[in-house]
Amino acid sequence: MDNQNLKAFITVAEQSSFSEAANLLYITQSAISKRIAQLEQQIGKRLFDRIARQVSLTEAGNELLPRARRILQK
């Protein structure tokens, strides 16, 4: 798993927003979306439920979040 993708995932999860995550990471919202899509493709599961402008973690996202944080702390 790519560290950039994990960082994007964690930031979206913490902010509950793709646009806020993009602002914090100084990248475009489309770049955040691409990173999340790459991560979802690697894992084979959706990580976020996207309803209108609301973003929430799926069960798979909740399982990945602590692992992603540990990976980035190393």
Quick: pLDDT tens for 3-29.
Answer: 999 999 999 999 999 999 999 999 999
Instruction: Please give the pLDDT value at position 13.
Output: 97
Specify the pTM: 0.94
| DSSP line for the chain | --HHHHHHHHHHHHHT-HHHHHHHHTS-HHHHHHHHHHHHHHHTS--EEEETTEEEE-HHHHHHHHHHHHHHH-
Q: 17 — alpha (psi -120 to 50), left (phi > 0) or beta?
A: beta
- Other CB atoms within 10 A of residue 25 CB: 17
Percentage of residues of the chain with pLDDT beyond 90: 91
